[in-house]
Amino acid sequence: MKYILFFVLQISCFSFGQNRTFDIFNDSILLVKMDENLLFVSKNKFEEVINEHPEFLNIDYNSPDILYAINSKGFESEVGQDDYYLFYAYFLSKNQNSEIDKINRNKLLEIYTSLNRIYALLDNGGTGFAHLYKRIFGYAEYSLLIYNNNIQDEIKVDFKQQKTLFIKNLELIVSNRLQNEWNYNNSEKKKIQIELNKLIEIIKKSITDSYLLLETQKFMFSTYQTY
């Protein structure tokens, strides 16, 4: 079964039979806000997902990768996997809705989407980064779960020193990769370097403690080619 998600950029209504209209806010559920886009799913499809995937109601400490590997029925395509991770993020976020959760969620999303943009630029784009962009919402929500429950081993490091080393390493990776990227000419590389520097600065500002640093490292080194 294919689950239909639709982006809504402004308030609008859709035809729904001959006697009524489809009210996007009353007949659907907002799954996630992606930048300036609102991602909705119809209530009927939402209920189908719950009925066929009860694991969303008891995620416990399972990552989206683990749950998807076990329960991918109905979400088998690349787009389907994207949708699964968005549903995962939606349900998990219901238990993580304090003000500090919102702050840390935003930090994680800033970090992960910035990293995704960095590597998309270094690899000259590709559909894989677009798919990963949606899945990042699931990864960020899982990282927030780890953060909130201190599941990681106690961190006994100099945070400022480790953060400085991480940022310097990221800058080195970016510089080397861009320098050896043959798809861009020198003029293009100068413009891209400016954008890359801005993205690195966003990451630097968003990493505010050891747990966020560790989650960032885990995400980066497990997701991208870091050489």
Work out the number of other CB atoms within 10 angstroms of the CB of residue 157.
11
Show the beta-strand stretches assigned E in the chain: 5-8, 13-16, 20-23, 28-34, 37-42
What is residue 158's predicted lDDT score, i.e. its pLDDT? 84
Note the Cα 71 to chain centre separation in Å.
20
Residue 88's contacts (CB-CB under 8 Å, 6 or more residues apart) are 56, 59, 64, 67, 68, 138, 141, 142
Hey, is 201 helix, strand or coil? Answer: helix
pLDDT at position 14 is: 34
Which of residues 89 and 15 earns the better pLDDT score?
89
State the SS3 of 58-80: CCCCCCHHHHHHHCCCCCCCHHH
More confident call, 151 vs 120: 120
Residue 166 has pLDDT above 90, yes or no: yes
What pLDDT, in 10s, does the model give residues 121-139?
A: 998 888 999 999 999 999 9
The pLDDT score that the predictor gives to residue 17 is 39
184 exposure class (CB count in 10 Å sphere: 0-12, 13-18, 19+): middle
User: What's the confidence (pLDDT) of residue 75?
Assistant: 94
Condensed to tens digits (0 to 9), the pLDDT of residues 39-95 reads 888 888 899 999 999 999 999 899 999 999 999 999 999 999 999 999 999 999 999
pTM across the whole model? 0.87
Higher pLDDT, 199 or 152: 199
Specify the 3-state DSSP secondary structure of 206.
Answer: helix
Find out whether 115 and 224 touch, Cβ atoms under 8 Å: yes
The mean pLDDT of 18-44, rounded to a whole number, is 73
